[in-house]
Amino acid sequence: MSKTILNFWLDCLLLVVFLTLVWVSVILRFVFPAATVAEGWTLWGWTYLQWSGFQFGVLCVMVLCVLLHVMLHWSWVCGVVVTRLLPRGDKKARDDGSWTLYGVGLLIVLLNLMGLAIAAAALTIRNPIG
């Protein structure tokens, strides 16, 4: 399979996953009552919590597809950074391995920042009962 065909099908999958995520989010926000009073309500046999779990699953699939999309376009991303974003004096030729390491490093930094934000939320959440 050529890279062009792979990108086309991945983009089609991203569109379907995105539309599914939007659809489920609208259902949870506008069809169901507020989460605090949605106990006992069902839509097509699924409760609010099941729809919410489905939404999270679709979100995870979308994140993986976006990550794959960026990986497949990494050479293009690096080319844009070198030719359009770096100052003229910094446009030294770097090999693909270096750019891959920069990308992996950036991904590690972003994931750590997200982990810290999640940890901060987990450590500062308050129980209304006590």
pLDDT in tens, 17-56: 999 999 999 999 999 999 999 999 999 999 999 999 999 9
**Domain that residue 7 falls in:** 3-72
Q: Please, are residues 72 and 3 in contact by the beta-carbon 8 Å criterion?
A: yes
40 found inside a domain? yes
Residue 5: Cβ within 10 Å count:
9
Residue 103 is predicted with a pLDDT of: 81
39 found inside a domain? yes
Q: Share the mean pLDDT of the chain.
A: 89
64 found inside a domain? yes
- The number of distinct structural domains making up the chain is 1
Identify residue 54 by its one-letter amino acid code: F
Q: For 43, phi and psi rounded to 5 degrees? A: -130, 115
At CA 40, angle to CA 36 and CA 41, rounded to 5? 85
91 found inside a domain? no
pTM of the shown model: 0.81
